[in-house]
Amino acid sequence: MPMNTIKVCLAAFIAVFILGDAAHAGSRIKDLTDIEGVRDNQLIGYGLVVGLNNTGDSLNNSPFTRQSLQAMLERLGVNIRGAQLRTGNVAAVMVTANLPAFATQGTRIDIVVSALGDAKSLQGGTLLVTPLLGADGNVYAVGQGTVAVAGFQAEGEAAKVVRGVPTAGRISNGALVEREIDFALNRLTSLRLALRNPDLTTARRIAGAINDFLGAPIAEPIDRATVAISIPGKYQGNIVALLTEIEPLQVEPDQPAKVVIDERSGIIVMGRDVRVATVAVAQGNLTVTISETPVVSQPAPFSQGRTRVVPRTRVGVTEEGFKFGVVNEGVTLRELVDGLNALGVGPRDLISILQAIKASGAIQAEIEVM
């Protein structure tokens, strides 16, 4: 593996370790929990994007686009029943958005537009009025506007270049909220905090911090993901005041030892509490090289032979191995990373090594493969 890649990997591990040490500092309760009932709601809609530069759906292959175009024009008073449509400037799209909690009528939200048919690009297109529905089937917002696409596509007779995803885009503040979701926070008689990273120790620390601050046992951890709060008398009808006082409280979160591995990208993230028992590690690579060097065979003069191309293949096998490295019992994350990098191990090989150490029972952590 190139030295640059190994250096980048080592730098990433050092950064992760530094961030892990910073986790010893307290975090605010508002950064560790969500308030039950205060959440976003997902919206979805179907619409048309027009104004494309002949990069829209081919109507013969996208009957839903043809039907939608006909229905829209008929609503505008244009009768095209039976007419042959050949435009390539229209694309059927799905529109998605998140309706924030407490969003009021008239506020704007961002929307994402994604091609549904065989459109090549949505660059330069304009989304027509599109109702956005919630899970209950009601319309909560209406979207319209110019689609901003980050990707692009360019092609000629014999070559094509595609950068990013030109068939998906975003409209900033592209939808208006038409219906509010009724949720009266101040009328709640009880309150529950949901931990974003469930953990029994963290839940107990949060409850303890709230009780110490208010001087009464009003908070209780129900399980590893929930802390229930009884509303004190002076905060009845004014839960917002209670939340603004307990949200800034500092709590040190506690998380189980875990190693997260993404095999597709080679990313490895280790928690600060990962510990390894005494184990010896060796890593080797087997490289097989196949090279083709065809040779032209030229016949002798006046032999009536033919010029032929004779294949010639060379196969080489190289095995590179490293010496055994001993990882002592109870080493920390930094020592583990430094030891494995000292062996010249790259991120791909490190994934296999960690899985092998886990299989041997020597690593005291959960390994999650994404």
User: Cβ of 162: how many Cβ atoms within 10 Å?
Assistant: 14
pLDDT of residue 344: 65
Domain residue limits, the chain: 3-22+258-369, 27-38+184-251, 41-177
Cβ pair 140, 132 in contact under 8 A:
yes
Compute the distance between CA of residue 19 and CA of residue 272 in angstroms, rounded to an integer.
9
Helix, strand, coil tally for the chain in percent (to 5): 25, 35, 40
At residue 260, the pLDDT reads 81
Q: What is the pLDDT of residue 112?
A: 96
pLDDT of residue 15: 45
Q: What is the pLDDT of residue 238?
A: 87
Residue 12: predicted pLDDT: 46
- Tokens 């330069």 correspond to 124
- If you search the block for the tokens 């196949």, which residue do you land on? 290
pLDDT, residue 190, reads: 84
pLDDT of 318 reads 56
Please identify every stretch of the chain with a pLDDT value under 50, giving residue numbers as ranges: 1-23, 286, 288
Across 226-251, b (16+ Cβ under 10 Å) vs e yields: bbbbebeeebeeebeebbeebeebeb
Strands 258-262 and 366-369, how do they pair?
Answer: parallel
Provide the pLDDT for residue 138. 94
